[in-house]
């Protein structure tokens, strides 16, 4: 834990508003990115990020400072997204699933639609992985952290990160190829061939 | 020159470079697409910060949620429990059988009962007045049935018993099983066939100014006493030895003849004995038992002013226990000698039953039924009229 983290924790424990603001400003984007990458389509990533910070502030006195604030927040994010995925699966099972809409961005409807579609595409791609593979892929490949750092954040040995990463990449490649992703260019389609637009047929 | 032994652990562990070469990376285009597609927009981040800063939600407290859930479940469970019966249920019907989880309470005549369910297996009956029979099925659920009659408490221990409350006097007859009677500070266990009564009533006046006339003869449809009434002397049931009979309690009243040398029985003793006979009559004790008690009374107090009444009861009990036409002359003599006695109607009924041979022609009983119609209460008039109509086709 850095000295900055120490000071931030001390100020948060003292209940300073400025410290909370600093926490949000420093980690909001990072936590939101994690919740997007670890959640499934239809889940509200922003809500999950909100919950991560609330739990963090509630449990601030239980944080012993053994790791960095970033690692601590990632641990909370893992737990909360795992619970949310479980709840989401149950809701889908009983037919209560509600499509989460992205908040109004101020952009044109076309841009919004494209952005939404792109995110769903990524989430669908990652959805095919197990949670462990997804976490390690998100940290190493998407966050571009080192395997040692990912090992610390996940609380596993580096060798385990390597093996998980290997398995995750292989599974993702197979999954994406099945979905029509081409490494050389944009994906041919997100839809099954039978549902491709007729204009693309010869 | 000695060679260093191989370090198996070091030599068998791949270097990071080897591992990195082994773990094939994803195509960079895919990684970039995945990365860019999953990055939040600046507006989303700003919105999240605003939400966190302006309207912070309360973090979910799962312990509180679990407690609230448990409380709701507890409440639902409590609501699902069987509700109590209405606090009290007044019963003042002619005859009513109430089956409540096993116990059966049969109220007769003008009996007034209050049923209170303490819990699903604890039924309390408070008697206001009258006559009621209680029965608990020993094979049924383990229900506790407590009867409050005046100042007495009678608790079922798997049995059937009858309680009569007249004024302040309580009388109990046990048909089957074992009953515990608590009266003031005393506790009495009664076995099958035993009776108990609280303080006897004031000694009756001479027949001329006879006390309250006896109740009308039992209605024709009155339930017959259980077959277990058997024993005439009311032997104590096993384990039912009276523990500490109250001073004014009379358990089983197997009144033996006084030993020689004892002072002669007083009028008060005769009054107490008479009260027992009345109790047995009101409780519906078996005719043989009533006959025996009456015979004992007549043997001890032949000159008592109450003897005439007891004689009538004795005669009626004998007609019921062993119907024999040889009793007719005695019946006729008594009826003829007591034109205004309150027992007269009962003997008229007994006479009609004795004369009705059941063959349908009713020739011998016609005049007796007519006498009941002439002198009887409305209920008995209906009974005798119905009997005559039943006989009519044979005429």
CATH (domain of A160): 1.10.10.10
In DSSP notation, A129-198 reads: S-HHHHHHHIIIIIS---HHHHHHHHTS-HHHHHHHHHHHHHHHHHHHHHTT-BTTBS-S-SS-GGGS-G
Evaluate whether residue A99 is within a structural domain. Answer: no
Give A-chain residues touching B30 at CB under 8 angstroms. 172-173, 176, 181, 183
Q: Tell whether A63 and A135 lie within a shared domain.
A: no
Give B-chain residues touching A181 at CB under 8 angstroms. 30
Q: What is the pLDDT of residue B37?
A: 83
Q: How far is A140 from B181, CA to CA, in rounded Å?
A: 86
Evaluate whether residue A177 is within a structural domain. Answer: yes
Task: Inform me whether the C-beta atom of residue B29 falls under 8 Å from chain A C-beta atoms.
Answer: yes
Q: How many domains does chain A have?
A: 2
Q: What is the pLDDT along chain B (395 residues), one digit of tens a residue?
A: 556 777 777 777 777 777 666 667 888 888 888 888 888 888 888 888 887 776 555 555 677 788 888 999 988 887 776 554 444 444 444 334 444 445 677 777 677 777 776 666 677 788 887 777 777 666 555 566 778 888 788 876 666 777 777 777 777 777 667 778 888 777 887 777 677 777 554 433 333 333 333 444 443 333 333 322 222 234 333 333 333 333 333 333 333 334 444 555 666 677 778 878 887 887 778 888 889 889 988 998 888 878 888 899 999 999 988 888 888 899 899 998 888 777 888 888 888 888 886 666 677 788 888 888 888 777 788 888 888 887 765 44
Evaluate whether residue A96 is within a structural domain. Answer: no
With CA atoms as reference, the chain B residue closest to A172 would be B26
Q: Please provide residue A181's backbone torsions phi and psi, each rounded to the nearest 5 degrees.
A: -75, 135
Task: Inform me whether the C-beta atom of residue B39 falls under 8 Å from chain A C-beta atoms.
Answer: yes
Model-level pTM? 0.40
Q: Tell whether A132 and A182 lie within a shared domain.
A: yes
What CATH number corresponds to the domain at position A83?
A: 1.10.1740.10
Evaluate whether residue A98 is within a structural domain. Answer: no
| Binned average pLDDT, 10 residues per bin, chain A of 202 residues | 77 81 87 90 86 86 83 92 85 61 57 77 84 90 89 88 89 83 52 33 30
Q: How far is A165 from A132, CA to CA, in rounded Å?
A: 9
Q: What is the pLDDT of residue B1?
A: 52
Q: How far is A9 from A28, CA to CA, in rounded Å?
A: 16
Q: How far is B49 from B42, CA to CA, in rounded Å?
A: 11
Residues 167-196 of A with CB under 8 A from B: 169-170, 172-173, 176, 181, 183-185
Give, as one character, the DSSP assignment of residue A96. Answer: -
Q: Tell whether A127 and A65 lie within a shared domain.
A: no
Task: Inform me whether the C-beta atom of residue A102 falls under 8 Å from chain B C-beta atoms.
Answer: yes
Evaluate whether residue A120 is within a structural domain. Answer: yes
**To the nearest whole angstrom, how far is the Cα of A16 from the nearest Cα of chain B?**
12
Among A62, A87, A112, identify where a domain stops: A87
Report which of A11, A31, A30 is spatially closest to residue A21, judged by C-alpha positions. Answer: A11
Is B47 within 8 Å of A46 when comparing Cβ atoms?
Answer: yes
Is B44 within 8 Å of A142 when comparing Cβ atoms?
Answer: no
Report which of A84, A14, A26, A88 is spatially closest to residue A53, judged by C-alpha positions. Answer: A26
Among A56, A87, A118, identify where a domain stops: A87
Q: Tell whether A111 and A41 lie within a shared domain.
A: no
With CA atoms as reference, the chain A residue closest to B60 would be A55
Evaluate whether residue A92 is within a structural domain. Answer: no
Interchain CB contacts (distance < 8 Å): A and B: 104
Q: Tell whether A71 and A16 lie within a shared domain.
A: yes
Among A87, A112, A147, identify where a domain stops: A87
Evaluate whether residue A199 is within a structural domain. Answer: no
Is B48 within 8 Å of A54 when comparing Cβ atoms?
Answer: no
Evaluate whether residue A62 is within a structural domain. Answer: yes
| 8 Å CB contact between B301 and B265 | yes
Q: Tell whether A82 and A25 lie within a shared domain.
A: yes
- For A65, the domain range is 3-87
> Could you tell me how far CA B166 lies from the centroid of its own chain?
19
Of B35, B39, B59, the CB nearest to A55: B59
Q: Tell whether A108 and A75 lie within a shared domain.
A: no
Q: What is the pLDDT of residue B39?
A: 86
Tell me the two tokens of residue B289.
Answer: 């038992």
């Amino acid at each position: 834990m850095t000295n900055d983290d120490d000071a931030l924790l001390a100020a948060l424990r003292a209940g300073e508003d400025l410290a909370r603001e600093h926490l949000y400003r420093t980690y909001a984007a990072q936590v939101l990115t994690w919740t997007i990458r670890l959640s499934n389509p239809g889940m509200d990533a922003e809500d999950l990020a909100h919950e991560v910070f609330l739990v963090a502030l509630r449990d601030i006195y239980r944080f012993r400072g053994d790791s960095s604030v970033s690692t601590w927040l990632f641990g909370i994010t893992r737990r909360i997204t795992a619970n949310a995925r479980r709840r989401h699966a149950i809701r889908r099972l009983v037919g209560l699933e509600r499509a989460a809409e992205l908040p109004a961005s101020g952009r044109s409807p076309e841009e919004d639609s494209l952005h939404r579609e792109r995110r769903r595409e990524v989430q669908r791609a990652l959805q095919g992985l197990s949670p462990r593979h997804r976490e390690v892929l998100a940290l190493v490949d998407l966050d571009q952290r080192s395997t040692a750092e990912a090992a610390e954040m996940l609380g596993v040995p580096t060798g385990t990160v390597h093996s998980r990463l290997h398995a995750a990449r292989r599974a993702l490649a197979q999954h994406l190829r099945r979905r029509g992703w081409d490494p050389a260019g944009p994906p041919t389609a997100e839809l099954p061939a039978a549902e491709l637009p007729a204009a693309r047929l010869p | 020159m000695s060679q260093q032994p191989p370090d198996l652990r070091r030599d068998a562990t791949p270097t990071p470079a080897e591992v990195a070469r082994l773990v094939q990376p994803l195509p960079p285009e895919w990684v970039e697409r995945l990365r860019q597609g999953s990055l939040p927009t600046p507006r989303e981040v700003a919105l999240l910060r605003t939400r966190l800063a302006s309207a912070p939600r309360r973090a979910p407290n799962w312990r509180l949620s679990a407690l609230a859930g448990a409380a709701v479940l507890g409440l639902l469970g409590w609501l699902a429990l069987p509700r109590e019966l209405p606090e009290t249920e007044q019963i003042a019907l002619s005859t009513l059988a109430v089956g409540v989880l096993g116990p059966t309470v049969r109220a007769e005549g003008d009996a007034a009962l209050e049923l209170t369910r303490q819990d699903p297996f604890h039924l309390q009956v408070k008697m206001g007045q009258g006559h009621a029979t209680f029965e608990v099925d020993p094979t049924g659920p383990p229900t506790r049935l407590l009867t409050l009659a005046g100042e007495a408490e009678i608790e079922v221990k798997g049995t059937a018993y009858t309680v009569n409350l007249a004024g302040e006097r309580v009388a109990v007859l046990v048909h089957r099983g074992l009953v515990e009677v608590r009266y003031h500070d005393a506790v009495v266990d009664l076995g099958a066939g035993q009776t108990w009564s609280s303080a006897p009533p004031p000694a009756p006046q001479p027949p001329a100014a006879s006390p309250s006339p006896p109740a009308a003869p039992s209605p024709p449809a009155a339930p017959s006493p259980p077959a277990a009434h058997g024993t005439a002397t009311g032997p104590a049931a096993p384990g039912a030895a009276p523990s500490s009979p109250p001073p004014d309690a009379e358990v089983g009243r197997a009144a033996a003849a006084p030993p020689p040398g004892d002072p002669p029985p007083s009028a008060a003793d005769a009054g107490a004995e008479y009260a027992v006979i009345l109790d047995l009559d009101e409780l519906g004790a078996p005719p043989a038992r009533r006959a025996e008690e009456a015979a004992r009374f007549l043997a001890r107090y032949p000159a008592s002013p109450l003897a005439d009444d007891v004689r009538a009861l004795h005669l009626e009990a004998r007609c019921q226990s062993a119907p024999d036409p040889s009793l007719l002359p005695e019946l006729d003599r008594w009826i003829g000698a007591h034109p205004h006695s309150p027992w007269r109607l009962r003997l008229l009924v007994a006479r009609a039953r004795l004369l009705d041979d059941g063959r349908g022609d009713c020739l011998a009983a016609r005049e007796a039924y007519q006498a009941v119609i002439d002198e009887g209460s409305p209920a008995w008039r209906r009974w005798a009229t119905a009997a005559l109509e039943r006989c009519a086709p044979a005429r």
